[in-house]
Structure formats: structure tokens, C-alpha cells
Amino acid sequence: MKASTSRVALIGVVALLATACLAPLRSDDFARGVQRIDLGGGAAPLSLTYLGVGGWLIETPRTRVLTAPLLSNPSIWAAGLTRIRADTAAIVDGLRRFGVTDLEDLTAIISGHAHYDHLMDVPWIAARLSPRARILTNTTGARTLAPLADELGIDRARLVDISELAGDVEGGGEWIQLGPDLRMLPLVSDHAPHFVGLTLYDGSRAEDLVRPPVSAEQWLEGETLAFVFEMLGPRGEVQRRVYYQDAVAREPFGFIPATMDPVDVALIVPATYAEVAWQPEAILENTRARHVILGHWENFFRPPTVDPDPVPFTLLPDFVARLRRSLGGDDGRWSLPVPGTRFEIR
């Protein structure tokens, strides 16, 4: 106990010193509103809207899907000490604030792991806002959501465990068709510790949960997945490739197959990056992304806002400095969006 307390104190001091030495982020480092990213090649338009935490609305001309949104944002004390549930008023209000008014035609809501900040709001959105969407998640996520699906009247057939379909850096895996012009490959990934080597709520579920989860510690991680999305053209050709991770992973976890062509856009996570070696460098080398967009960087223990602070325990300026170095100092190749920012990729 003493050793871990002094370790926390030491990390805190190091973090403070490091923060003091780093150039702070400036307001023009953050992307807001509508951002146009021109990658050329004559592909159809693709849009990516950041909703905070792991939440991205991905829209191709004919398909719309969502990755794990969190808009309930319980405080750090509530998440640690009390019962937590989806806050339906906060979900509706947060979506409206971020400019998302209609999720009726979503075909899928996707989450790579089952922590509450990635999955707690998903069943309510699926039940009330997106009645056609399948929920695609890892085995533990599907088992955790089972009683919530029953409570909310979601047909169990909409709840799909996709862990068995995951490929990895060696290849393999099975593509999942999400709509006429969008498909997705799950990838075996990993979840960095939250701080000082500790991972909260790790572990997995062998059986369906019997009653809906009521505390953060019931939202066990399971085996984390990452994803590649491919937007397809009229002849089935790949027009755009997007990488998405919802947690930092030790290399080579979360890597795309070594034989896959580079991705156009990588959505990567700064939160907890310093808990593993050589991130973000390793995932940038693997994906060879033309443009990098950061998600899951803001403090999600406060109500959703378009003007958030960085998440505690992560030195965002250091992460950005390393990202800049990896991209050869080209500031046109990365974006740090506030929630509500919409990227239009052409």
C-alpha cells in the first residue's frame, strides 16, 4: 500500500514537472465546427463526427454507423463510488449540442470493449433512437448487455458478439458488412492500464449477466478490439480506409494486417498512452495513416461540452509533440477535435 502510494506521488511529481517543461496546447491546435480534409483520388464523400470519448458518427453516402458514444458522463466520484446508469436526458441533450439530431437509420453501433464509458449509453440509444442498429461488440460486452437488452425491449438478435471475427497483424479475420458501401474488420487489440500500471475493471464474463449492471465495476473490459472500416465504391473497390481504436494498446495488438494498404484516416487515443511503450509511434508506423485524428482525449468525468479539458493523468501536450515528430512536423496531417467537430473527407 505504502509502495503504491509513493509511486502515485512520484508519478504525480514527474507529471507536474513534465507539464511545466512542455509547450502548452494553443487554442488553434484544436479543431472545431466543420473541417474539410482533402485526400484526393475522387472518392465519394466520407464524414466523421466526433461525439466525445470513443464516440464517432461515421457516414458514407449510403451507410451510417456509430462507435461507442458516452454522453451520460458520470463524475469521477459517481463512477467510483455509486450506482451509475445511462442518463437519458444527458444523451439527448449531448447529441443535440454536438449537432446530431437523427440516428434513426443507423445500421450498427460498435464498441471494442465493454467498460462503462464505451458501452453504458449504447443500449438506450439502440432501443430509443436507432431501432434498426445492431450492437456489435466483444464477447463480454454482449454478455453484459444481455439483461439491458431484455429490459429495454431490444431483440437479442440485434446484440452480436464479434470477438471470433477478429484478425490481427498476421491477417485473418472476417469482414462484417455494415451497409451497401461500408464494411468493417475487427482486430485483436489490448487495453493499456489506466494509471501507474493499474487497469480498472479488467476481466471478462463467461456467462450473460442476469440483471442490468449498476456500477462501473460491473462493466468489465473483456478482450478489447480495434477496427478497420472500408468505404466501398460502386464496383466494390475500396475508396477509403479508416482505422479506429477505442483504447491504447501495446504493439502489435490492434495492428492492421501487415499486408493491408495504408489507411486514409486513423482515429487514435491519447488517454493513457504513456502506460505502454512507443505509442503513438508504433500504431502510426503500422497504419501509415495519411491523416490522424485524436479522440478520447478529453475529461469525460464532466458533462459533455464543446470546450472540454484534457482527461486527468494524460500529458496531452507531450502526446501531441510526439505525434508531430512522427508526422515529420507536418501540422496538416493531424487534428485534435473538440466534441461536435465534423470532418468531411474528400
Binding site for Zn ion (CB under 5 A): 115
Q: Which is nearer to Zn ion, 129 or 226 (CB)?
A: 226
Residues 6 or more apart whose CB falls under 8 angstroms from that of 264 comprise: 39, 240, 241, 242, 289, 290, 291, 345
For the sheet with 30-31, list strands across it: 30-31, 334-337, 291-294, 265-268, 238-244, 225-232, 182-188, 176-179
**CA dihedral defined by 33, 34, 39, 42, rounded to 10 degrees?**
170
Residue with smallest beta-carbon separation from Zn ion: 115
Which residue's C-alpha cell is 449509453?
121
Cβ 346 to Zn ion shortest distance, Å: 33
Cβ 70 to Zn ion shortest distance, Å: 11
Estimate to the nearest angstrom the gap between the alpha carbon of 10 and the chain centroid. Answer: 30
Beta strands in 261-333 (DSSP E): 265-268, 291-294
Burial 269-280, CB ≥16 within 10 A → b, else e:
bbbbbbbbeebb
Q: Which is nearer to Zn ion, 53 or 176 (CB)?
A: 53
Stated as kind and residue range, the H or E segment containing 165 is: none
Cβ 274 to Zn ion shortest distance, Å: 16
The CA-atom distances, in angstroms, between 209 and each of 112, 135, 319 are: 19, 17, 37
Cβ 247 to Zn ion shortest distance, Å: 5
Cβ 192 to Zn ion shortest distance, Å: 9
Q: Which is nearer to Zn ion, 51 or 182 (CB)?
A: 51
Cα–Cα distance, 2 to 20 (Å, whole number): 27
Which among 53, 79, 77, 78 has a CA at the least distance from the CA of 66? 53
The DSSP bridge partners found for residue 187 are 167, 226
Q: Which is nearer to Zn ion, 300 or 343 (CB)?
A: 300
- Decide if 95 contacts 121 (C-beta within 8 A): no
Q: Which is nearer to Zn ion, 115 or 134 (CB)?
A: 115
Amino acid at residue number 340: G
Q: Which is nearer to Zn ion, 115 or 322 (CB)?
A: 115
Q: Which is nearer to Zn ion, 47 or 199 (CB)?
A: 199
Cα–Cα distance, 175 to 183 (Å, whole number): 6
Q: Which is nearer to Zn ion, 115 or 205 (CB)?
A: 115
- Decide if 225 contacts 166 (C-beta within 8 A): yes
Q: Which is nearer to Zn ion, 288 or 302 (CB)?
A: 302
Cβ 38 to Zn ion shortest distance, Å: 33
The DSSP bridge partners found for residue 242 are 229, 265
